[in-house]
Amino acid sequence: MASLQFVFGASGSGKTEYCIRRALLEAEKDLSRNVYYLVPEQDTLAMQKRIVLHKENKGKGILNLDVLSFQRLFYSSFTHLNRTVPKTLDEMGKLMVLSLVSEQLKKRRGRKEREEGESWESFSSTATLSYFQGEVEQLGFLEECKSLISECMQYGIRAEKLYSFAQKLKKNVSKRKIEDIALLYHSFLSWMTEQEKYTEESIAALALENIEKDPHFQGAYFILDGFTGFTVSELHCLEFLLAGENQLLLSLEVRSHEEGNLYDKGDRSSLFYLTKNAVEEVESLALEKKAEILPSINLNCFDSVSGEKRKKGVVYPRFEKIPALQKVLDSYAFSSEGKEQEGSLIPPLGITVKECPDILREVQEAGNFIHHLVKDCGYRYRDIAVIIPDIASYRDVLFSKWKDLSIPFFLEEDITLFDSPYVKVIRAAFLVLERGFLFDTVFRYLRAFPYRTAEEEEIVDCWENIARAKGWKGKTAFSSFLSEGQEDRRAYRDLASLLQFYERNTSGRGSKEAVLLRERVESLVQLITDCALEERILSSLSFLKEEGMENREESYQRSIEEVQEITERITESLGDIPLSGKSFGKIFELAFSLEKLRQIPATLDQVLVGDLTRSRFHNPKAFLFLGCGSEFLPKKFGKTIIFTEKERELMREEGYRLSPLSWEESYIEKYYVYRAFLTPKEELYLSYPRTLRNGKGERASSYLRDFCALFPGLKIRIAENEKMPVYNALRGKEELVLSLPSLCRTDHIFVEKEELFHHFKLDSFRLLHYLWNKEAYHEETERLLSGIFFANRTVDLKKETALQLYGELIQGSVTRMERFHSCPYAHFLQYGLALKERKTSEVRAFDIGNLYHKMVELFFKRFLKKKGEEKVWEAAFQEALSENVNQAVEETLADPAFQRFLTGGRNQYLLRKLRFNGRRILWALGKQILGGDLRPDAVEEAFQFEEEGIFLRGRIDRVDRYLDQSENTVYLKVVDYKSGKKDFSLPAVYQGLDLQLPLYMEYVLERERKKNPSSRIVPSALFYFTMENPVLSYKEGEDYEKARLKALKPKGLVNLSEEGLSHLEKDGAEESLLLPIQKKEGNTEEKGSLVSEERLLALLHFAKERMLEGAMRIRDGEKAITPIRKDAENTACTYCPYHSICGFDQDLPAFRFRELDKREEEELWEEIVKRADEKKGERK
């Protein structure tokens, strides 16, 4: 007769010790009787080792004692009966099948409307997807759907049952969703039946039939340890075992004051609900099979070794060296959670709680604690375990910081194939097949190959620059890279292989046409072979070993084997199925997303790092729990894609057993946290970061606060308030970096000998002395000191070097000279070293400005032929706006430089917007012209400036001219168009930052004097005009035409002479709509933009001298890193592309912005006029 006996006990009470001793005892009693020790899959190897090395195991071996998981038990039944295990579809196979059947259902020509009360047979054979028609394209939906179908198979829920349940629902959305899942579920099972394929769930069903007949599982002794609950298939297995003559011993965790509530399942929020549920399920099976239920063994009351009754107040064996955890065992999450308990104010022995400023410091502090345990307490690394709730947030920091600290550790996580460099190349090739030859897809593929030579990388860089600048798309464009004579280059072969792969999958049939999957897989294998991908990946992995990441190196090596196995499995299972190129890529994408690279520890003596629920730690001496902050705990359980919480509750009410709801998951998580707190034998270390990596604030989690409330004397230590220990030279260097700068600032220079001696007694200087004299770190220490005492020391070029760089003649445009005055170093990089940003085909801000320039230029050139005919200007302007704007835009777009505006939806939209804005701009320019007497005389006039050692060229956007024949006077105006906001600033001219307008006007005046030597030449105005369509705020009753004109007024200087003003604007209103001036009681005064002709001419001379001065400084080799601050928001660094080269940082000594001259404008004008007068005197 079968029997069932429970072993109850809290964590640390010795349940596993009791089970092992019982297993060894039963095995020794009768060697012909089998003893099976069942544990969760991840515990099998560790438990085997523990049993073999146990002190009660005299022979240090196992004969009739075997350690199994349920999965291994199922497969062993096939071996015992000499039956072949059917080939099964793994999770990857399920996902691919689900993708295929969903595609078939989408193509099914079913009814659009589903009939009420339709039979299941009719529905399953004719219906199409209704609610999830679009979602089946998404990987996340397919993964969740696969998990849901697996749940249904595990818990014995049939597709027709789901359909019947859907018919009872009143809510149409829920009904359609469940019907779709039932349809997918049925189609999945139908495909499996047709293809004679099995899943793990169906294998379990076959195995259960074997177990019933297997003599090895008759009259055996089964011990189940480490379980918190059982799946349906595991319960079925227990049911079969209880039907035979087997004895079952089941250990479950429960603390003493919960024992009386073991059969109370009503409260799902109970910490031990899982235990209660398992007891109820297994006991009901025993009663059903009429097995004997033996009295339970309570290790909360009796010692697991001696069997003696426990004395009150005596701690459990595990907590002898950390007795404070006994209080956690008895009181955590019970009655008074979150409230401070009464007790000693003495800090509990062996418990450390630390608050750190961020994750980086938290990992570093944990590493220091591990070093302390190993170096000061005699621990081995294998005696230490670490748990992290969210490994993804800590992974890279762990590898970085613990490598520096020389801590060997094994991160217990599965690496996805997506991380493998081998798979990255394959996925990139699939992306080209799916989207075509685009810039991003092609260079993602080319960049995916690891570690080419510098010469090969330079070829790819060159290709990228060309393709980016030309905006290449399509196979033909990229084929032009394959020029003759380059066949031996790897980059050539990689691109050629990609083109052949694309041809094989599209030529003559198109990627959308269905082709046998087998043929498409052959083309992929050929691509891998042509690129010699395997050899290149293997040769590139050596650096991982050097970085101390042997586990990852091995995983990446195995990824190659995994991909080869995937291609074989796909070909074998689905090779004869026709599918499109898009589906081809999708199949492999699904496979790669599910396949995991299991890691094997490279050595036994290393720290084990795991997560909260999956990892199993066998009571290490020290246990570190990182990430105990509110962001990670309690975990935020995400919403399911398929069923809402309410829908899952409805299904549960109907008796359909599915996975726990989100609120139940949170209570289960609390149980795992409770178990984690009770894991160590000697040391428990808890920590959390105050700030996350995204800058978000963090505080201690509710779990940690509840824990701390149990110990009034336990104080949270603040990491910043404690000095970190120095365990190696690298850590010493880090400490120096933090402490030396504050001691070595120039204001801390030591004067007295006694003061110097005092400071050299500091730990920082002791470290400095130690590292300086250590040969391996001497050079690095010297660089560290150089960095601390770094100053921005200006070292100019030698004149000979400057001559070689710039030549004897300084050439360029006025912009070059403005660049020099803005920052000499930026000028040196741009014009000396000729560093340039990469060209791109994308439309950028200056492209829009150039288009506006070209459009305005072409528009006004049409009127130059009719200049002077005032009636034509007045009458035809509005008509020209409607006709000539479109013509100007079309002519502009005919220019190859603007072809990029014609491609892409975004650029097309931008072009329509520019047409509209162009009309507004030309309307405003027309109003400004027609408002005065001056008319466009030249558009895009060539500008030249030549003096000794300097030759500048440029284009003047527009010159307006008016000849007053009665006075024989010519009035001139220079207008420069700007695509961004630009204001005229006298301090900027004074510093040499704004020289264009004065120099252009000087050139125009000189030209006009030569042309009309007998006429008086008057500079009327210098203007910047911003080409924009300003957004106006709404004001009721306001004249928006005037408001727009006012917003588009040009900025600059205006000659205040009455004659000049009258020709610039005929309407003499108090506030001008066309000029940047304002009259007071009809009078003008020299203020702001209004200046006298004397000052205007003086400014032109000053600008010329400032430019010549800059040219001389360039020839002298000046290249100081001295950018200028233009205003509160703009500096020379604001849009500078060279910041990563110069490293300008105001926090470093001698890095400071130059400031504009802060003097009043009147003082600046006086100095400008004075300097002009001095120059005139010198000429005389």
Q: How many CB atoms lie within 10 A of CB 374?
A: 18
Pair 405, 444 in one domain: no
Of the two residues 766 and 867, the one the predictor is more confident about is 766
Cβ(701)–Cβ(633) below 8 Å: yes
Q: What is the pLDDT of residues 59-88, one digit of tens each?
A: 888 889 999 999 899 989 998 888 888 877
Instruction: Say which DSSP state 967 is in.
Output: T
Find the mean pLDDT for residues 259-266: 60
Q: What is the pLDDT of residues 928-953, one digit of tens each?
A: 888 888 888 888 899 999 988 899 99
What pLDDT does 726 receive? 62
Kindly indicate the confidence band of residue 103, based on its pLDDT and cuts at 50, 70 and 90.
Answer: confident
Find the mean pLDDT for residues 863-889: 61
Q: Tell me the percentage of the chain whose pLDDT exceeds 70.
A: 83
Domain-embedded: residue 319:
no
Pair 448, 461 in one domain: yes
d(CA 93, CA 831) in angstroms, rounded, equals: 60
Residue tagged 């072993």 (tokens): 7
In terms of average pLDDT, the best of 151-155, 284-288, 308-312, 1088-1092 is 284-288
Pair 626, 571 in one domain: no
Rounded to the nearest 5°, which phi and psi values hold at 38? -95, 125
What pLDDT does 169 receive? 83
Least confident among 389-403, 742-756, 799-813: 742-756
Pair 266, 386 in one domain: no
Q: How many CB atoms lie within 10 A of CB 664?
A: 15
Q: How many CB atoms lie within 10 A of CB 60?
A: 9
Of the two residues 888 and 854, the one the predictor is more confident about is 854
Rounded to the nearest 5°, which phi and psi values hold at 1125? -95, 120
d(CA 362, CA 353) in angstroms, rounded, equals: 11
What pLDDT does 624 receive? 96
What pLDDT does 337 receive? 42
What pLDDT does 747 receive? 43
User: Is 904 strand, coil or helix?
Assistant: coil
Find the mean pLDDT for residues 693-699: 77
752 pLDDT more than 80: no
What pLDDT does 260 receive? 58
Give pTM, 2 decimals: 0.63
> Which of 563, 597, 631 lies at the terminal end of a domain, its last residue?
597
Of the two residues 204 and 34, the one the predictor is more confident about is 34
Kindly indicate the confidence band of residue 749, based on its pLDDT and cuts at 50, 70 and 90.
Answer: very low
> The domain that contains 36 carries what CATH number?
3.40.50.300
Pair 432, 482 in one domain: yes
The token duo for 722 is 């404690």
CA-to-CA separations, 320 to 256, 315, 349, 710, 880, in angstroms, rounded: 18, 6, 11, 19, 96
Pair 869, 824 in one domain: yes
Domain-embedded: residue 202:
no
Cβ(858)–Cβ(1158) below 8 Å: no
Q: What is the pLDDT of residues 1017-1028, one digit of tens each?
A: 999 999 999 988
Find the mean pLDDT for residues 231-250: 90
d(CA 442, CA 429) in angstroms, rounded, equals: 8
The token duo for 865 is 């032929």
What pLDDT does 751 receive? 40
Kindly indicate the confidence band of residue 767, based on its pLDDT and cuts at 50, 70 and 90.
Answer: low
Number of folded domains that form the chain:
6
d(CA 877, CA 927) in angstroms, rounded, equals: 10
Least confident among 131-145, 637-651, 723-737: 723-737
What pLDDT does 115 receive? 67
Q: Provide the residue type at 523 as one letter.
A: S
Least confident among 598-607, 791-800, 1053-1062: 598-607
Of the two residues 725 and 379, the one the predictor is more confident about is 379
Q: What is the pLDDT of residues 179-188, one digit of tens each?
A: 898 999 999 9
Specify the length of the chain in residues: 1180
546 pLDDT more than 70: no
What pLDDT does 755 receive? 47
What pLDDT does 868 receive? 47
Domain-embedded: residue 655:
yes
In terms of average pLDDT, the best of 665-679, 899-913, 996-1010, 1133-1147 is 996-1010
Pair 691, 734 in one domain: no
The β-bridge partners of 959 are: 938, 974
> Which of 266, 288, 314 lies at the terminal end of a domain, its last residue?
314
1011 pLDDT more than 60: yes
Pair 429, 528 in one domain: yes
Kindly indicate the confidence band of residue 842, based on its pLDDT and cuts at 50, 70 and 90.
Answer: low
Find the mean pLDDT for residues 694-717: 87
Cβ(925)–Cβ(957) below 8 Å: no
User: Is 705 strand, coil or helix?
Assistant: helix
334 pLDDT more than 70: no
Q: How many CB atoms lie within 10 A of CB 998?
A: 26
Q: How far apart are the first and last CA of the chain?
A: 130
Cβ(478)–Cβ(467) below 8 Å: yes
Domain-embedded: residue 437:
yes
Pair 171, 305 in one domain: no
Domain-embedded: residue 203:
no
Q: What is the pLDDT of residues 772-806, one digit of tens each?
A: 667 766 777 777 666 665 666 668 899 999 999 99
> Could you tell me which residues come within 8 angstroms of residue 783 by beta carbon, excluding any fewer than 6 positions away?
none
Of the two residues 1118 and 312, the one the predictor is more confident about is 1118
The token duo for 135 is 């979602």
Count of CA atoms in the C-beta half-sphere (13 A) of 202: 15
User: Cis link prior to 601 (omega < 30° from 0)?
Assistant: no
Least confident among 377-386, 465-474, 943-952, 1062-1071: 1062-1071
Q: Provide the residue type at 687 as one letter.
A: S
Specify the long-range contacts of residues 573-577, CB closer than 8 Å, at least 24 apart: 573/89, 573/93, 573/96, 573/195, 573/197, 574/96, 574/100, 574/517, 575/516, 575/517, 575/518, 575/521, 576/516, 576/517, 576/518, 577/100, 577/516, 577/517
DSSP code per residue over 1109-1127: HHHHHHHTT------EE-S
Kindly indicate the confidence band of residue 421, based on its pLDDT and cuts at 50, 70 and 90.
Answer: confident
Q: What is the pLDDT of residues 1099-1109, one digit of tens each?
A: 999 999 999 99
Kindly indicate the confidence band of residue 640, based on its pLDDT and cuts at 50, 70 and 90.
Answer: low
Instruction: Say which DSSP state 830 is in.
Output: I
Q: What is the pLDDT of residues 15-60, one digit of tens each?
A: 999 999 999 999 999 888 999 999 998 888 889 989 999 998 888 8
- Give me the chain's average pLDDT, please: 82
Domain-embedded: residue 204:
no
Of the two residues 847 and 607, the one the predictor is more confident about is 607
Q: Alpha helix locations (H) across 744-869?
A: 753-759, 763-772, 775-788, 799-806, 814-822, 824-827, 845-864
What pLDDT does 727 receive? 61
Domain that holds residue 264: 3-85+211-314
d(CA 672, CA 679) in angstroms, rounded, equals: 11
Q: Alpha helix locations (H) across 895-932?
A: 905-930
CA-to-CA separations, 493 to 428, 429, 477, 484, 531, in angstroms, rounded: 16, 14, 17, 12, 7
Q: What is the pLDDT of residues 1043-1052, one digit of tens each?
A: 888 888 999 9
> Could you tell me which residues come within 8 angstroms of residue 970 by beta carbon, excluding any fewer than 6 positions away?
961, 962, 963, 964, 1008, 1012, 1015, 1016, 1017, 1018
The token duo for 81 is 């009966």
Pair 80, 111 in one domain: no
Kindly indicate the confidence band of residue 333, based on its pLDDT and cuts at 50, 70 and 90.
Answer: low
| Rg (alpha carbons) of the chain, rounded to whole number | 41
Find the mean pLDDT for residues 136-162: 83
> Which of 680, 697, 718 lies at the terminal end of a domain, its last residue?
718
Find the mean pLDDT for residues 486-507: 84
Pair 913, 1020 in one domain: yes
Pair 704, 673 in one domain: yes
Kindly indicate the confidence band of residue 753, based on its pLDDT and cuts at 50, 70 and 90.
Answer: very low
Domain-embedded: residue 1135:
yes
Kindly indicate the confidence band of residue 354, based on its pLDDT and cuts at 50, 70 and 90.
Answer: very high
